[in-house]
Amino acid sequence: MDMSGLPEGANINNIEIADDDSSAAPNDLEGFPPYAAYVARSEEIEELISLTSISYALSQQLLLSTPPEQFADITFDNLTPERRSFSMADVTIGEILGISAEWLTYGEYAQKTGQKLQDVANQAKADLLGPVRIRPSDSAPVILWPPESEREADFKAPEIGFCSIKLNFTIKANATAALTFDPSDPVQAEEAQKHFLKSASSLGNVDEVVKRAKFLLFRAAFLLQWTSFEVFLRETIEELLARHPQAIIESAGKKESLSYEQLFSMTHKLSSIESLRQELIDMEIERLRSNGRSIHGMINFLKSAFRFKRDPYKAWYVYKDKRHEATYSTLIDIKERRNTLVHEASDARSAISGKEGQGLSEEEYVKYVLALRSVAYSISSSVHFKEYEVQVSNGPA
């Protein structure tokens, strides 16, 4: 039963669909590799959403039911260097400039050591503080700092009236570290839960963190779905051009030409005609993508070069028992939302607080994915059931 041409007024609830594991499933397109790969990628993304959403829900429930004081004894200071990971971008280097040696008057020496001035003078006269010199500028007696017991082996005293400067470097790195626990061990499992909840609680208010986490999850999943759809279109065109290489001529134009040098390179020194065909296919796909339309450019190429009997844009999907059309404008809207999410991702915090045009709700995500799947199915159905035609070239004009 072909559902792609279902009338707009049809009752969706009255349609009987075979189970997924039935060999009688309608319009099984597993025989078309690009669509099979697209479905597999989509299922992986949906699995990611399910697993992550469950993790969010469990974390939220545990955080709300666990008193904060239970995290007081949890620290992360005992991590060994072997378990830390960071890149050069995570390292900051600071400089600390200090005086390593200088000549001090009795008063300065007393202030630095916390002694009385007279005690310092008496110790200096008894030669208990090391070298004492007379400062030429004012004839004041001065003592070398630091004391001899604190000097390094290669210490060199500065001239009177000058000091030695020491430059120290401090290196800090924002590192990540893996916490390893055995979940089958009840004691370790409880400890692991405390550590993970401690990390989660440090992110901020529970409800706000969950809200932001969901936004980030659906944004990432949506961008993956869009990329997967692009890959599907590219692989579909590649598959059709491999089946019908003459379509390359119709697409690129009969006046398009290649130099001997290009042919030599594209055929691996004239050794492989298959290599030339693949290179031409890749060039044509890249040409279609470079026109700025990307997805729409590739779909329109499929419509024109292979003359689909059914317009790929005449697709539909059902969301909460209501039928929706997946039209050309639908894909335009999805593309614009994709661009917004990519180019303004740095402003995501304001997006979840209600900034118009950037948020991505679960409902929007589901509708977008259903629309993309519908168009992918429509295209794949036309190819799989050979509901298209290829124009035969009559040779050079």
* Tokens read off for 19: 């189970």
The per-residue pLDDT for range 370-386, each reduced to its tens digit, is: 999 999 999 999 998 88
**Gap between the Cα atoms of 206 and 59, Å rounded:** 9
pLDDT of 357 above 60: no
The per-residue pLDDT for range 145-160, each reduced to its tens digit, is: 888 767 777 778 888 8
- Place 38 in a pLDDT band, splitting at 50, 70 and 90: very high
**Gap between the Cα atoms of 139 and 247, Å rounded:** 99
pLDDT value of position 236: 92
Beta bridge partners of 318: 323
**Gap between the Cα atoms of 379 and 239, Å rounded:** 13
The structure's pTM equals 0.64
The per-residue pLDDT for range 270-303, each reduced to its tens digit, is: 666 666 667 777 777 777 666 545 788 888 888 8
pLDDT of 89 above 70: yes
* Tokens read off for 23: 């060999």
pLDDT value of position 198: 77
294 Cβ contact list (under 8 Å, min separation 6): 230, 335
Beta bridge partners of 113: none
pLDDT value of position 65: 82
Q: What is the mean pLDDT of the chain?
A: 76
pLDDT value of position 211: 84
**Gap between the Cα atoms of 192 and 276, Å rounded:** 56
Highest-scoring range by mean pLDDT, 4-18, 235-249, 320-334: 320-334
Contact 250, 391 (CB under 8 A): yes
363 against 271, higher pLDDT: 363
pLDDT value of position 45: 95
Contact 388, 382 (CB under 8 A): yes
Asked if the bond preceding 158 is cis, omega within 30° of 0, the reply is: no
**Gap between the Cα atoms of 339 and 346, Å rounded:** 13
Nearest to 144 by CA among 132, 135, 155, 136: 132
Beta bridge partners of 101: 164
pLDDT of 251 above 80: no
pLDDT value of position 344: 67
* Tokens read off for 151: 């000097």
Print burial letters for 195-227: b (CB count within 10 Å at least 16), e (below 16).
Answer: bbbbebbeeeebeebbebbbbebbbbbbbbbbe
**Which 3 state secondary structure label does DSSP give 104?**
strand
* Tokens read off for 351: 């997006």
pLDDT of 19 above 60: no
- Place 127 in a pLDDT band, splitting at 50, 70 and 90: confident
pLDDT of 21 above 60: no
155 Cβ contact list (under 8 Å, min separation 6): 101
Cβ neighbours, 10 Å, residue 62: 15
pLDDT value of position 317: 95
